[in-house]
Structure 1
Amino acid sequence: MRLFLDIDGVMVHANPYKKVDMGEDGFYKFNANAIDVINSIDDLEIILSTSHRFRFDIQEWKNIFQRRNIKFKEISIMNLKLDSKFSRREEIEKWINDNKIDPDDLIIIDDDKSLNGLPDNLKRRLILTDPYIGLNNAALQNLQLRNR
């Protein structure tokens, strides 16, 4: 399963009134609930769609995810240049189309409301998180119910 993954508002809260804890490696500690949800997805290929995606090279991202006990088969970066002209929806949709990814083989986890504008075949694969909470089991169950 391919997973387009955001970090802020997904793996960590994006509540401006609460501090985000940092790991010893200088990057955010991920929420335990978010880690559990990610680890519940089998045969996982993570595609980083986060704005942090160019902060580290692939090997360091792998190290970060391994140190946080996240199970994955592969990690890659959605290597479209960050451009304020494009919304997250446009970035992800372009990446899916350019790489001919089957919508049934992907999940998108993000807190960006522009993703509500995805076409129905992609929107049904979207877990839109509450940025103040981040990813939790209820969000994953909502996706499973939509895809029955």
Structure 2
Amino acid sequence: MVILLDIDGVMVPTTTWKPTEILSDGFANFSTKAIISLQTIIKSTGASILLTTSHKSRFNKFQWEEIFKTRGIVANIDVLENNEDNLSRKEEILRWFSKASISENFVILDDDKSLNGLPDSIKNKTIVTSGTVGLTIDQANEAINILRKEEFILA
């Protein structure tokens, strides 16, 4: 099982009235609510994380794992390939699906509303968060239900 995870607007709510707290590792702190929600998904499903965030190329896989660990999340983390073609998030995800051999359930957690334009077989496994709120426990439970579905159909 894999979680395609954005960070801004999912783990780090975006607000104009409050500056983002940067931790000593040089990256933004995650919201407590989002940490608990993501931990709930991982503990319930054993899912790994594939980072889709625009920050993905700032750190390598091991640095990302340490960043998440510092924020209380232990997970196997991989990173979507660099977006050298300046594709939209939707196009990046579609490219990944066209190249990857997916044989496991997945869920996409992102605040990018353009993902509503994904093909239904992918969109049905996408949870679009509110960028100013981030990942909630209700969305975590929805993600768990998506990941636990036995059938895997990608048309």
In the superposition, the TM-score normalised over structure 2's length comes to: 0.84
Secondary structure, counterpart of 1:76 in structure 2: strand
2:79 aligns with 77
2:120 aligns with 120
1:35 aligns with 35
Offset of residue 144 of structure 1:
5.7
1:18-46: per-residue Cα shift (whole Å, max 9, x none)?
21112122211111111111111221211
Q: 1:46 to 1:146 in 2, by over 3 A?
A: closer
Contact 1:44 1:71 (8 Å CA) reproduced: no
Amino acid at match of 1:126: T
1:44-78: per-residue Cα shift (whole Å, max 9, x none)?
21111000000011111111011111131x21110
2:64 aligns with 61
1:45 aligns with 48
Offset of residue 146 of structure 1:
7.2
Secondary structure, counterpart of 2:78 in structure 1: strand
Offset of residue 145 of structure 1:
6.7
Amino acid at match of 1:46: I
Question: Runs (4+) of structure 1 moved beyond 6 Å?
Answer: 145-148
Contact 1:80 1:91 (8 Å CA) reproduced: no
Which deviates further from its counterpart, 4-13 or 38-47?
38-47
Contact 1:107 1:127 (8 Å CA) reproduced: yes
2:88 aligns with 87
Q: 1:81 to 1:17 in 2, by over 3 A?
A: same
1:18 aligns with 18
Offset of residue 93 of structure 1:
1.6
Question: Unpaired runs of 5+ in structure 2?
Answer: 150-155
Q: 1:63 to 1:146 in 2, by over 3 A?
A: closer
In the superposition, the TM-score normalised over structure 1's length comes to: 0.88
Contact 1:89 1:114 (8 Å CA) reproduced: yes
